[in-house]
Chains A and B, each alone.
Chain A
């Protein structure tokens, strides 16, 4: 069904070939969505168009042969971020300020358009970029990392190169990313000051007339859990992995919480706190163990490569799921001590 990936294009007589038609349509769609997400008259429209923007970006990732990214973008970038924005926008008053359409506004916009067109012209018609090797992958600097990575994937314990890079070659980045999630959550917790009560809106007031949503949530949540588990398992050999699986689980938790089927996740529960830190903690323990008794910081012993990676991923999925759901739907009742 898909056209063969990465067909090498010979220079054609016309600059635009027919194979480029889906890409052109996606480009136009993305520009319209971006414009709408920024400048739509109503804020609710802007937020909805932002979710649609995320979906179109996911389509573009699929078109650019990046299925991991498409999964992550659709779940995290479009879905969870959209829920986050809409959930938080309830607490904010309506927009007061309108942008002044002064001459500076239009001048800056014209600059943006002209700069993009100049960039395109530079790419197409300037040979200096080609001779400098920006578009020719073999002479650019970045593929040195890439060739190193490709050569090392068979010994990394997993077969999928992106997972190998994420959890073996650049495991330090992934550990820091888990810590970033933790920092965001702890920053969130500090912003719930005492003395201000917020009504328990989303849960106790879910009306009976919308019972279809509750029924659908009951069907969807197990499906999401199963798909998340599948993605986690398949992440070692095919596109998938901890972040995609964790975001699906977080989506299940968000749906269940919003329809009132899941009770508030109380921060006072030790199990919750433990599962939030478990991912980063286990990762740190592995890192310290490899540093003290092994070959170096986060250099996995070759015999236990795959096992270590899958264990780290499993625990990290749990942490990511719970942290993301707390970030998105954490209310005062959940997060105060």
Chain B
């Protein structure tokens, strides 16, 4: 077993584990963490595929850098959506409690 095979399996394992977490967890922040972990698993597969040659493949590295930045943008936006939805729930439950 080489390091590449080990990390390929690790990437697949982290992806499946966080997919399981995404499907079974209730708390929105944990689900967001699960989505981020799925991204990390995918990146792990890509970078270990890049390592097949002596000097690693720059195309895959560039794609993963792009992916990292896109992941944090999406996470920031998703967090604000969660907060806004929470406030919405809070105000509607207050309204219905007042009536």
Contact = CB atoms under 8 A, between A and B. Distances in A.
A269 interface: no
Nearest to A320: B69
Interface stretch (A37-45, A199-207, A296-304): A37-45
Contacts of B84: 191, 193
30 contacts: A6-B55, A6-B56, A31-B17, A38-B33, A43-B27, A43-B30, A46-B33, A47-B29, A50-B36, A61-B47, A64-B50, A69-B47, A69-B64, A72-B65, A77-B40, A84-B72, A85-B29, A88-B29, A109-B17, A112-B13, A112-B20, A115-B12, A123-B8, A142-B59, A165-B61, A166-B65, A170-B59, A177-B69, A243-B68, A327-B73
Contacts of A61: 47
Which secondary structure dominates chain A's binding surface? helix
Interface string B8-35: 1110111011111101111111101110
Greatest chain B CB density within 10 A among A5, A9, A65 is at: A65
Size band of the interface chain A makes with B: 35 or more
Interface residues of B, number: 73
Contact of A112 (B17, B29, B64, B83): B17
A81 interface: yes
Which secondary structure dominates chain B's binding surface? helix
B70 to A, nearest CB: 5
Contact of B58 (A20, A137, A162, A188): A162
Contact of B26 (A99, A109, A120): A99
Interface of A: 5-6, 9, 15-16, 19-20, 23-24, 27, 30-31, 34-35, 37-39, 43, 46-47, 50, 53-54, 57, 60-61, 63-66, 68-69, 72-73, 76-77, 80-81, 84-85, 88-89, 91-93, 95-99, 105, 108-109, 111-113, 115-116, 119-120, 123-124, 135-137, 140, 142-143, 145-146, 149-150, 161-162, 164-166, 169-170, 173-174, 177, 180-181, 183-184, 187-188, 191, 193, 196, 241, 243, 320, 324, 327-328
Contact of B40 (A23, A43, A57, A161): A57
A180 B65 CA distance: 14
Contacts, number: 245
B24 A60 contact: no
Contact of B47 (A47, A66, A165, A328): A66
B4 A135 contact: yes
B1 interface: yes
A92 B52 contact: no
A16 B50 CA distance: 22
